């Protein structure tokens, strides 16, 4: 898998780079192309950013390449995404599909059916259960997200203590984050008291953290796996007035959390980047298959360095929805 070690600002400029390239042959410009983009609805902050960047890519690509029709479809559940994908495939001849699966298992079969029609398939973020279906894969380094956070936490806790963990939605990327984190923690004396799903949802994380707080009188730190869940965790901890929790950590680089890091928040002094703009990069890379560019195929992984007060400005975008 190719690793993309670009800073966040460079990553977000992918669109500008692609638009600056030659438009390709006249034949490439005359052929009508339909690219379907299937993504989760803006049910929380990160997916809100995904929807925003997908819509930006749609506008920019269609303006630059009038022969390309980008159709963005959102879904609020895995079942709805399957239905939407079936409708897209039945009503249009799809040259390409860019999909961020709501869940891995439920979307694998439907995407495979689209692929069987000769459609180019680009998968973003949440991988399919069968990676052989995809022509292109763009994602963050989820193992590094978990491992880098765990190493930092282990150092701060001197390798011992009691922690709780919140998982996201059952997907490949959640599995990878948990593996990266758990593998590092396994080499320490830190005990994971509990680990349950909160579906990358702030309200569900708030309720789950309330349960953790009621169940465990001593918690040294919390890893929420995601910044949306982190906000729910922090609210629960503050309402309970618990002072034993030294660190509450998330991930994804949400604007609000980056502001906490920039301010030197003692409880949340770090984060990790996982930019929703990766959907925009994938749409442009897919469009490049039909514009005379050099086709990009394979797997591309974004780097996941720790975001600290010293480098937080590189990852902070005040005008972004996330």
* Within this chain, domains 2-140+275-306 and 142-262 share the same CATH topology: yes
The per-residue pLDDT for 86 is 95
Phi, psi of 142 (to 5 degrees): -70, -35
Structure confidence at residue 87 (pLDDT): 95
CA distances (Å), origin 117, targets 64, 98, 114, 143, 190: 27, 15, 6, 33, 50
Closest by Cα among 174, 169, 207, 142 to 77: 169
* 213 three-class SS: helix
What is the structure's pLDDT at 207?
Answer: 98
Residue of 63, 140, 96 whose CA lies nearest to 307: 140
186: Cβ contacts below 8 Å, ≥ 6 apart: none
Looking at residue 43, its pLDDT comes to: 81
For 121, the 3-state DSSP assignment is strand
In terms of Cα–Cα distance, which of 68, 101, 251, 247 is closest to 172?
A: 101
pLDDT value of position 195: 98
- Give Cα separations from 38 to 75, 104, 163, 289 (angstroms): 8, 13, 36, 18
Residue 128 · residue 102 · CB < 8 Å: no
Q: Are strands 96-99 and 33-40 parallel, antiparallel or unpaired?
A: parallel
59 burial via Cβ count (<10 Å: 0-12, 13-18, 19+): exposed
Rounded (10°) CA dihedral 12, 172, 305, 274: 30
| Reduced 3-state DSSP string for 140-166 | ECHHHHHHHHHHHHHHHCCCEEEEEEE
Burial class (CB in 10 A: 0-12, 13-18, 19+), 178: buried
Q: Which CATH number fits domain 2-140+275-306: 1.20.120.1460, 3.40.50.2300, 3.40.640.10, 3.30.450.20?
A: 3.40.50.2300
Domain 142-262 belongs in CATH node 3.60.150.10: no
Series of mean pLDDT values for 10-residue runs along the chain (322 residues): 42 43 49 96 86 94 96 97 96 96 94 97 93 94 95 98 96 91 98 97 97 98 96 98 98 93 97 90 94 82 91 85 80
CA distances from 129 to 37, 99, 141, 162, 220 (A): 19, 14, 17, 33, 35
Locate tokens 């990852």: which residue? 315
- Cα gap 56→109, rounded to integer Å: 29
- Domain definitions of the chain by residue range: 2-140+275-306, 142-262
**CA atoms of 111 and 194, how far apart (whole Å):** 34
pLDDT of residue 13: 41
DSSP 30: H
Decide if 198 contacts 231 (C-beta within 8 A). Answer: no
């Amino acid at each position: 898998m190719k690793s993309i070690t670009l800073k966040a600002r460079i990553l977000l400029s992918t669109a500008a780079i692609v638009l600056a390239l030659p438009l390709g042959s006249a034949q490439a410009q005359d052929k009508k192309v339909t690219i379907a983009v299937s993504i989760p609805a803006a049910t929380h902050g990160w997916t809100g950013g995904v929807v925003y960047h997908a819509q930006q890519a749609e506008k920019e690509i269609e303006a630059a390449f009038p022969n390309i029709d980008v159709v963005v479809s959102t879904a609020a559940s895995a079942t709805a995404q399957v239905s939407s994908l079936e409708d897209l495939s039945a009503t249009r001849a799809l040259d390409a599909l860019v999909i961020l699966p709501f869940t891995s298992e439920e979307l694998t079969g439907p995407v495979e059916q689209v692929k069987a029609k000769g459609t180019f398939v680009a998968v973003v973020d949440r991988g399919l259960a069968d990676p052989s279906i995809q022509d292109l894969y763009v994602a963050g380094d989820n193992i590094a997200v978990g491992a880098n956070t765990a190493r930092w936490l282990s150092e701060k806790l001197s390798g011992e203590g009691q922690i709780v963990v919140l998982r996201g939605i059952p997907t490949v990327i959640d599995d990878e984050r948990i593996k990266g984190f758990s593998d590092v923690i396994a080499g320490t004396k830190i005990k994971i008291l509990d680990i349950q799903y909160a579906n990358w949802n702030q309200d569900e994380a708030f309720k789950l953290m309330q349960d953790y707080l009621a169940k465990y009188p001593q918690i040294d730190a919390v890893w929420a796996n995601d910044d949306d869940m982190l906000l729910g965790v922090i609210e629960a901890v503050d309402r309970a007035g618990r002072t034993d929790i030294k660190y509450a950590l998330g991930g994804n680089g949400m604007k609000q959390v980056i502001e906490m890091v920039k301010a030197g928040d003692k409880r949340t002094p770090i984060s990790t980047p996982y930019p929703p703009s990766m959907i925009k990069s994938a749409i442009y890379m897919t469009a490049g298959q039909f514009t005379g560019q050099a086709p990009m195929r394979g797997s591309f992984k974004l780097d996941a360095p720790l975001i600290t007060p010293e480098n937080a400005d590189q990852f902070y975008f005040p005008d972004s929805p996330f």
